[in-house]
């Protein structure tokens, strides 16, 4: 698995509200731009949401959410991993450092120790060997090669593991150490530039999901591989993904992360508050903090969708379930493997969608 995943942190407490509720927000627009608020009161950016008082008899928010996934992670992944020359050039972008991090073992250790996610993939493969027996498999973003190893052990005829970072060299050693050199071929490079030794594959498997499902993800790369190499009746794993949104109360967290800047060792640093509010966070959330119903934003069929479908605007309506403040919006996602004997998948949300195989779940992109 070649993507950095959501890291769980302790959930904040219930917190407290202010004495007087502020004016209720009427519109919130989310884009990938860093612009400020609009004249019509629309907030732009990832998390420009101040404290909102919620009336259970009314809708909390009616808005559009815009997700732009056109700049996929793979677009600069390989350039980034080869972008640390010895001539002293230090003009690196954040993407350069981000992708180079996948050459370090700590990232892969963190992902492999995510038992819910890793065991889901293992169970999908081991418990559905009929899908893999004597089939040619393509592993997109292979990382250490763990998914390729699962597939080989399940009886795949051959597995082609594409990894863009320097971890590809380590993956080759791992494959050799486990006696699968004759079954698994590790290829280093961009999927868009790789010359695959075969014309078609039967299965494409990938752990492509990013934060917020589509942030810094490899979906477009998976779709490229699908359109180029997958046989007509081929299988993409996972093949379904859904993105959800809800709102929570968390005054204590807001006090700790935002109001903290009002007085820092006796100095006023409140000018940082705006930037702090715009920065999305990855954290866990207690289900008792949910103020609104959960809203489905988007469901994607990876086996059929067009690359452009990953960028979308989705209207949403959050309905309050109790009288409380809203301090943050929380997004989470599910992925499912519908080609299995039994519907299998996992969720980064704490709600039971009938897909979980573990109890520790993470909500992603908590926005204060």
Domain presence at residue 60: no
pLDDT exceeds cutoff 60 at 310:
yes
Q: What CATH number does the domain containing 146 carry?
A: 3.40.50.150
Question: What pTM was computed for the model?
Answer: 0.71
Residue 343 has pLDDT above 90, yes or no: no
Domain check: are 146 and 273 in the same one? Answer: no
Q: Is the pLDDT of residue 86 over 60?
A: no
Maximum average pLDDT range among 5-9, 75-79, 216-220 = 216-220
Last residue of a domain, one of 192, 217, 237: 237
pLDDT at 112: 65
Report pLDDT digits (tens) over 275-299: 888 877 777 888 888 999 999 999 9
Phi then psi dihedrals of residue 205, to 5 deg: -125, 140
Asked whether residue 335 is domain-assigned, the answer is yes
Distance CA 172, CA 365 (A): 34
* Mean pLDDT estimate for the chain: 75
Residues 362 and 233 reside in one and the same domain: no
- Euclidean distance between CA atoms 150 and 107, whole angstroms: 20
278 and 304 share a domain?
A: yes
Higher-confidence residue of 161 and 57: namely 161
- For the chain, the domain total comes to 2
**What's the whole-number mean pLDDT along residues 31-50?**
35
Least confident of 85-99, 124-138, 230-244, 326-340: 85-99
Cα–Cα distance for residue pair 184/254, rounded to 1 Å:
49
The closest of 152, 138, 141 to 107, measured between CA atoms, is 141
Question: Domain ends where: 237, 261, 286?
Answer: 237
Domain of residue 362, residue span: 240-367
Give the per-residue pLDDT at 353.
43
What percent of the chain stands above pLDDT 70?
Answer: 64
Q: Higher confidence at residue 346 or residue 89?
A: 346
Is residue 14 in a domain?
no
What confidence category does residue 328 fall into, taking pLDDT thresholds of 50, 70 and 90?
Answer: confident
**How confident is residue 26, by pLDDT bands cut at 50, 70 and 90?**
very low
- Checking if the pLDDT of 72 tops 60, the result is no
Q: Is residue 11 part of a domain?
A: no
Percent of all residues in the chain with a pLDDT value above 90, rounded to a whole number: 45
- pLDDT-based confidence at 64, cuts 50/70/90? low
Q: Name which of 199, 212, 218 is nearest 141 in CA terms.
A: 218
Q: Which of 145, 102, 126 is nearest to 5 (CA)?
A: 102
First CA to last CA across the chain, in angstroms? 30
Catalytic residue set:
207, 216
350 or 43: which leads in pLDDT? 350
- Where residue 245 sits, what CATH number does that domain have? 2.70.160.11
**pLDDT level of residue 79 (50, 70, 90 thresholds):** very low
Q: Is the pLDDT of residue 78 over 60?
A: no
CA distance linking residue 337 with residue 120, whole number of Å: 10
Q: Which of 206, 237, 268 is the last residue of a domain?
A: 237
At residue 342, the pLDDT reads 85
């Amino acid at each position: 698995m070649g993507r950095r995943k959501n890291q769980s942190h302790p959930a904040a407490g219930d917190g407290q509200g202010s004495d007087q509720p502020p004016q209720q927000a009427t519109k919130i627009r989310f884009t990938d731009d860093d612009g400020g608020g609009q004249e019509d009161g629309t907030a732009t950016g990832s998390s420009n949401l101040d404290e909102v008082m919620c009336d259970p008899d009314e809708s909390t928010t009616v808005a559009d959410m815009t997700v732009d996934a056109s700049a996929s992670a793979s677009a600069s992944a390989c350039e980034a991993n080869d972008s640390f020359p010895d001539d002293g050039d230090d003009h690196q972008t954040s993407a350069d450092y981000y992708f180079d991090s996948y050459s370090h073992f700590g990232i892969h250790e963190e992902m492999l120790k995510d038992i819910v996610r890793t065991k889901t993939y293992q169970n999908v493969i081991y418990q559905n060997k009929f899908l893999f027996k004597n089939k040619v498999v393509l592993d997109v973003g292979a990382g250490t090669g763990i998914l390729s190893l699962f597939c080989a052990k399940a009886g795949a005829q051959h597995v082609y593991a594409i990894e863009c970072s320097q971890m590809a060299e380590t993956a080759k050693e791992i494959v050799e150490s486990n006696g699968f050199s004759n079954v698994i071929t590790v290829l280093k490079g961009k999927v868009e530039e790789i010359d695959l030794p075969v014309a078609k594959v039967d299965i494409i498997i990938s752990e492509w999901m990013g934060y917020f499902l589509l942030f810094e993800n490899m979906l477009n790369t998976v779709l490229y591989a699908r359109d180029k190499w997958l046989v007509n009746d081929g299988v993409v794993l996972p093949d379904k993904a859904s993105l959800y949104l809800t709102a929570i109360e968390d005054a204590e967290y807001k006090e700790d992360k935002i109001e903290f800047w009002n007085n820092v060792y006796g100095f006023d640093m409140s000018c940082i508050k705006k930037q702090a509010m715009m920065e999305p966070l990855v954290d866990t959330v207690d289900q008792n903090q949910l103020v609104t119903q959960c809203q489905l934003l988007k469901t994607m069929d990876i086996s059929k969708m067009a690359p452009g479908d990953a960028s979308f605007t989705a209207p949403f309506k959050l309905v309050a379930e109790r009288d409380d403040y809203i301090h943050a919006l929380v997004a989470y996602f599910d992925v499912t493997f519908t080609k299995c004997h039994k519907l299998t998948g996992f969720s980064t949300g704490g709600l039971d969608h009938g897909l979980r195989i573990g109890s520790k779940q993470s909500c992603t992109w908590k926005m204060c």
